[in-house]
Chains A and B, each alone.
Chain A
Amino acid sequence: MYDILIAAILTIITAATPLVYAAIGEMITEKSGVLNLGVEGMILVGAVCGFAAVHFTGSATLAILAGLGAGAGLALVFAVLVLGFQASQVATGLALTIFGIGVSALLGQDLVGIAYAGLPKISIPLLSSIPLIGPLLFNHDVMVYGSFMLVFAVAWLIKNSRAGLILRAVGDSHDAAHAIGYPVIRIRYLAILFGGGMAGLAGAYLSLAYSPLWVENMSAGRGWIALALVVFATWRPWRVFIGAYLFGGLTILQLHAQALGVGVPSQVMSMLPYIATIVVLVLISRDINKIKLNSPACIGKPFHPTS
């Protein structure tokens, strides 16, 4: 039983990590007042570029960077359209997803059917030999550690740093931020690029560690789940983190429950992660004033610097 528990939790961590990356990235984008619905597309492009990089160069480091760069690259297209040309954010984001699905399939044509061993695990000496905690916390690949650090860093940045304050100001009232001299457009560019880079990392994690291979459309809707997590977690980093682990956790636990032969219809089991994540996040974030406090007021609105 002990072994099954450890194994289940390890699987939960791998299932939650891509959601953490994509959702935290999107949260920063939305905090700046921009809604990017292209997460799914950016994940796929990150996945295919990461896998291509590891296949052609053999370097996991380059592969992770390629994922990051590819996601950010696609986000740049989005940023130019919505910030430069004032295109509708919703329509452009949807187009970005469709474009990402297509272009990743095109780029990955010759990568179908190739296997990769997966990112190496990094055991932290001494710490990883502690019973229970050791295997759970200190024996992962570099991207899992990275996701923990990302949440810490982003949570600290938003709450305690000047940069976080400026980001929130831009997202809450771009006119006011502009009036006191902040470069709204430039900050939004950076936030969109960050969001894209993180979505790219989520994709790289999918194709390098989660299921180390490339097949078309392999993200299978995780980008949309990340988008929903951001909203239900009311734009707060630790709640995004909890939501991602809750969703990943229930997805894995329902698979275990099925394998144990629990007599609940499998369709209900498959619904469980969605329902439970929404219910829990809505319950912990039900204070309407706090939601107003945390949700970026300018989300989705175009910004005209002249007005």
Chain B
Amino acid sequence: MKKIVIALVIVLPVVLVGYFLLFKPEIPEAPDAVETNVGFVYVGPVGDHGWTYRHDVGRQAIEKELGVKTTFVESVPEGADAERVIRKLATSGHDIIFTTSFGYMNPTAKVAKQFPDVKFEHATGYIRADNLSTYSARFYEGRAVLGTIAGHLSKSGVVGYIASFPIPEVVRGINAFILAMRKVNPDAVVKVVWVNSWYDPGKEGDAAKALIDQGADIITQHTDSPAPLQVAEQRGVYGFGQASDMSAFAPNAQLTAIIDNWNPYYVSHVKAVMEGTWESTDTWDGIKSGMVDFAPYGDAVSADVRAAADAVKQSIIDGSFHPFQGPINNQAGEQVVAEGETLDDGVLLKMDWYVEGVQGELN
């Protein structure tokens, strides 16, 4: 027994040191100090066809338009590992580091404090500092456009909504969708199915099947895989793509898709670093800035429906319309926002109730 313990005491450190020498995280060598260097931390693989993929498209836009060097580390778990990766990027000569998932908030804030000369930008969080910005997109504006299209094209007036987790971001999207849909078809309803996952192609597809079986003739989703759209294509109903253009999976069924377009934001903020004008900001942009973008309309969207959808986009851009302007009723049919009033960002960020037209209870 004693021998084993001694052997372990000797062997373990050797193994550990060997492990760290052999399997160092793949962070490229320190880039040139004179140029501007940009680092990205991704939560998923760049091939997820969704969230991380769209951030990586933004990174490529920086390289193409500004000719600067970028570095990325993909599939970084949220937590202690993230802090190590972010610190490594900060110490290896990066001037600005984008951390692209909510769970990177605390690690980013911690590292930002230790490296006051490096700029940090964190997506979807709320902690800011002099060298730490936050940014996110108003996807609910896009949902309002989708709802408008659904209002025109749904014959049954029933839309199936495949949702991930009951957090304000998702609830806001559901509400914006049905509010816009009922402006076109006042009797429309949305059936919501929570799959309690961001990503489970099989279950997302099953949810789509269940919703279609129960009379939904349009499917929309706040989960990340193209499986629901594929089901819509097979069953001959319509749907909307999520995060990126998914028409390859549903050439007939995809009416349009909300596209996360981070390119202009990334390019302008890296440019600001290059010119020395970067400031800590809190960005929540929508259709106007192009951060919320759309895939081309599918063939099923007729000219007048396109015109109606474009009109909603235009009115959101010029500020004459807000997806959450009154009158808004809650599920019980009581007016909660009066005519002429609009919900402010504070309320939107905490939204935990359904508007009229959503079936089911929010727990």
A interface residue numbers (CB < 8 A to B): 3-4, 7-8, 11, 14-15, 18, 105, 108-109, 112-115, 118, 206, 210-213, 215-218, 220-222, 251-252, 255-256, 258-267, 269-270
CB pair A270 B194 closer than 8 Å: yes
CB pair A266 B194 closer than 8 Å: yes
User: In whole Å, how far is A201's beta carbon from the nearest beta carbon of chain B?
Assistant: 15
B interface residue numbers (CB < 8 A to A): 45, 47-49, 160, 166, 191-197, 199-207, 209-211, 213-214, 216, 225-227, 230-231, 234, 248-250, 359-361, 363
- Could you name 14 residue pairs across A and B whose Cβ atoms are closer than 8 Å? A4-B213, A8-B213, A18-B202, A112-B47, A112-B49, A113-B248, A210-B205, A212-B230, A216-B45, A216-B47, A258-B193, A259-B216, A262-B360, A270-B196
A270 to B204, CA, bound (A): 13
- 9 tightest Cβ-Cβ pairs between the two chains A and B: A266-B194, A265-B363, A220-B200, A211-B227, A7-B213, A255-B210, A270-B196, A261-B360, A211-B201
A18 to B200, CA, bound (A): 14
B residues less than 8 Å from A263 (CB atoms): 360-361
B residues less than 8 Å from A213 (CB atoms): 201, 225-227, 230, 249
Chain A interface, >50% SS class: helix
User: In whole Å, how far is A95's beta carbon from the nearest beta carbon of chain B?
Assistant: 14
CB pair B202 A4 closer than 8 Å: no
A residues less than 8 Å from B205 (CB atoms): 210-211
CB pair B196 A115 closer than 8 Å: no
A67 to B23, CA, bound (A): 31
A residues less than 8 Å from B211 (CB atoms): 255, 259
A270 to B207, CA, bound (A): 12
Given contacts A7-B209, A261-B191, A265-B363, contact A210 B214 (CB under 8 A): no
A217 to B202, CA, bound (A): 11
Given contacts A105-B45, A218-B201, A259-B160, contact A211 B225 (CB under 8 A): yes
A residues less than 8 Å from B359 (CB atoms): 261
CB pair B214 A256 closer than 8 Å: yes
A212 to B248, CA, bound (A): 13
A residues less than 8 Å from B361 (CB atoms): 261, 263
B residues less than 8 Å from A113 (CB atoms): 49, 248-249
A residues less than 8 Å from B199 (CB atoms): 217, 220
B residues less than 8 Å from A4 (CB atoms): 213-214
Nearest residue (CB) in A for B249 is A115
CB pair A3 B166 closer than 8 Å: no
A residues less than 8 Å from B248 (CB atoms): 113-115
A113 to B249, CA, bound (A): 7
CB pair A218 B213 closer than 8 Å: no
User: In whole Å, how far is A149's beta carbon from the nearest beta carbon of chain B?
Assistant: 23
CB pair B193 A105 closer than 8 Å: no
A residues less than 8 Å from B360 (CB atoms): 258-259, 261-263
B residues less than 8 Å from A108 (CB atoms): 47
Nearest residue (CB) in B for A266 is B194
CB pair A259 B202 closer than 8 Å: no
Indicate which residue in B48, B193, B197 contacts A220 across the interface (CB closer than 8 Å).
B197
Nearest residue (CB) in A for B192 is A258
CB pair A266 B363 closer than 8 Å: yes
Indicate which residue in A105, A252, A255 contacts B47 across the interface (CB closer than 8 Å).
A105
A residues less than 8 Å from B227 (CB atoms): 211, 213
CB pair A256 B48 closer than 8 Å: no
A residues less than 8 Å from B204 (CB atoms): 211
A114 to B249, CA, bound (A): 7
A residues less than 8 Å from B213 (CB atoms): 3-4, 7-8, 11, 256
A residues less than 8 Å from B226 (CB atoms): 115, 213, 215
Nearest residue (CB) in B for A10 is B209
CB pair A255 B206 closer than 8 Å: yes
A3 to B45, CA, bound (A): 40
Indicate which residue in A8, A109, A115, A267 contacts B230 across the interface (CB closer than 8 Å).
A115
B residues less than 8 Å from A114 (CB atoms): 248
User: In whole Å, how far is B109's beta carbon from the nearest beta carbon of chain A?
Assistant: 29
